[in-house]
Structure 1
Amino acid sequence: MADKPAPDATRRSERSRRAIYDAALELVAETGYPRTTVEGIAARAVVGKQTIYRWWGSKADVLLEAFLEMGERAAREAGHEPHAVPDTGDLAADLRAVLRTTVDELLDPRFAVPARALAAEGLVDERVGRMFLAELLEPRLGRYAARLRSAQHTGEIRPDADPRIALELFVSPLAQRWLQQTGPISHAYTDTLVEYALHGLAPRTRDVPSGTPEGGPVGP
């Protein structure tokens, strides 16, 4: 009688990990972050609580990893690098494209609910805040900064600009509007942020009435 093959522990672990990811994201969407517990995640995923604590230290660790993995999986399915900023040689077009993708994510409850939960918890829990910054925000901001440095080399933006400050001109308003819900977010909104960030508020030469110096009205 042939021996049965031994169970594949790697496959079993991956199935459990996937079930835990899904359970964590579902629960935080249904009940909110404060009411989501490791016990609840374990019950929803049909795994032992000790399985979760063997891989993660807290529910925040589980949720952050589940959220990051979901974003990476969605990017792979769409056929592009997760959170990449394109470099086509046209900075304005590249920024508009990546910010439009960000808007789509922020309007998708699958992304928006856990992201908002983690951001809110990070304000009251310093450890969660550091995790959210180091593992989610910093990698994205670093890619923006790299694209702006590339634009400096091609002369699209001035060479003395600080990329980390420059990126705040379009990233920070979007984040604030989304987190504080002070207004709608849309492709048109982020396109405008890019326009203002790259060209400022002063009139351009083509917009200045005849006889008016660029930047202001004719003096007395």
Structure 2
Amino acid sequence: MATQKPAQVPDVTRRSARSRRAIYDAALALVAEVGYPRTTIEGIAARAGVGKQTIYRWWSSKADVLLEAFLDLGEQAAQAAGQQTTYAIPDTGDLAADLKAVLRATVDELTDPRFEAPSRALAAEGVVNEQLGREFVTKLLEPSLQLYVDRLRAAQDAGQVRADVDPRIALELFVSPLAQRWLQRTGPFGYDYTDTLVDYALYGLAPR
């Protein structure tokens, strides 16, 4: 008598991972194609090939989906480049060089088609959508800004920045103009611009 093979148990974890990845890709693609206001849970579900109840099981809104998808996109890009997903601004002892390097990397990311469309969608919608704006700041903006705070505090400890400078305000001297020019397309957006921002900012931060 032939021995009956045991039935294979479906790998729920793997299936969930595939569904989550499909949902991430669908959300990012739709936002790039039709914009945030016209992106819907139903549209994401249809694009991903899942039921919308699957999405609601994991997320409460399309904003939550897009934010998580965008964070995952950054992690995937870092892993593909062989980088750590826990970021920090380098500390070579040369504050100007370190800031210029990270701002140049920011220019590269903001002009990368994979990042530009969802970045613009999240930033623009966050202005008119209070809940999304709070989540955008908490999950995406503040962690990045804290890296600048940490690097400027290290520079203060090394005597490269005045002790009375508030790092959280100081970082806005180069981060805020960069964000405004990128969002509003008010002028050239490249390495020359970011290098100049750092030079201007640090002239005012240098010890007296």
Fold equivalence (TM over 0.5): yes
- Specify the alignment match of 1:101 in structure 2: 105
Deviation readout 1:36-79 (Å, 9 max, x if unpaired): 11001000000000000000011111011101110121122222
Give the aligned residue type for 1:9. V
Q: Higher relative CO (CA 8 A, sep ≥ 6), structure 1 or 2?
A: 2
The correspondence for 1:180, drawn from 171, 181, 184, is 184
Distance in 2 separating the partners of 1:77 and 1:18: 16
Per-residue deviation, 1:155: 0.9
Letter in 2 for 1:112: E
2:21 to 18, 23, 47: 18
Displacement of 1:115 = 0.8
Shift of 1:185: 0.9
For 1:79 and 1:86, how far apart are their aligned partners in 2? 16
Shift of 1:184: 2.1
Deviation at 1:156, TM superposition (A): 1.1
Displacement of 1:84 after TM fit?
2.5
Mapping for residues 46-125 of structure 1, pairs under 5 Å: 46-82=49-85, 83-125=87-129
Partner SS state of residue 33, structure 2 = helix
Amino acid at match of 1:158: R
Rounded Cα–Cα distance in structure 1 between residues aligned with 2:199 and 2:25? 38
Which one-letter code corresponds to 1:3 in the other structure? P
Extract structure 1 runs of 4+ deviating beyond 3 A. Answer: none
User: Alignment identity in percent?
Assistant: 72
CA distance in 2, matches of 1:116, 1:13: 29
- The alignment's C-alpha RMSD in Å is 1.3
Q: In the TM superposition, what is the alpha-carbon distance from 1:5 to its structure 2 partner?
A: 2.5
Partner AA of 1:178 in structure 2: W
Tell me the residue number matched to 2:164.
Answer: 160
- Secondary structure, aligned partner of 1:155: coil
Distance between the aligned counterparts of 2:97 and 2:75, measured in 1?
23
Displacement of 1:93: 1.1
Q: Highest CA radius of gyration, 1 or 2?
A: 1
Q: Which one is further off, 35-44 or 70-79? A: 70-79
What is the distance in 2 between the residues matched to 1:183 and 1:81?
A: 32
Q: What amino acid is aligned across from residue 28 of structure 1 in structure 2?
A: V
TM-score with structure 2 length normalisation?
Answer: 0.93
Aligned partner letter, 1:151? A
2:84 is matched by which residue type in structure 1?
E
Confirm or deny that 1:142 pairs with 2:165: no
> Partners of 2:119 and 2:175 in 1: how far apart?
15
Aligned partner of 1:216 in structure 2 is none
CA positional deviation for 1:33: 0.8
The Cα offsets for residues 1-31 of structure 1, whole Å up to 9 and x where unpaired, read as: 2213311111100000000000000011111
AA at the equivalent of 1:150: A
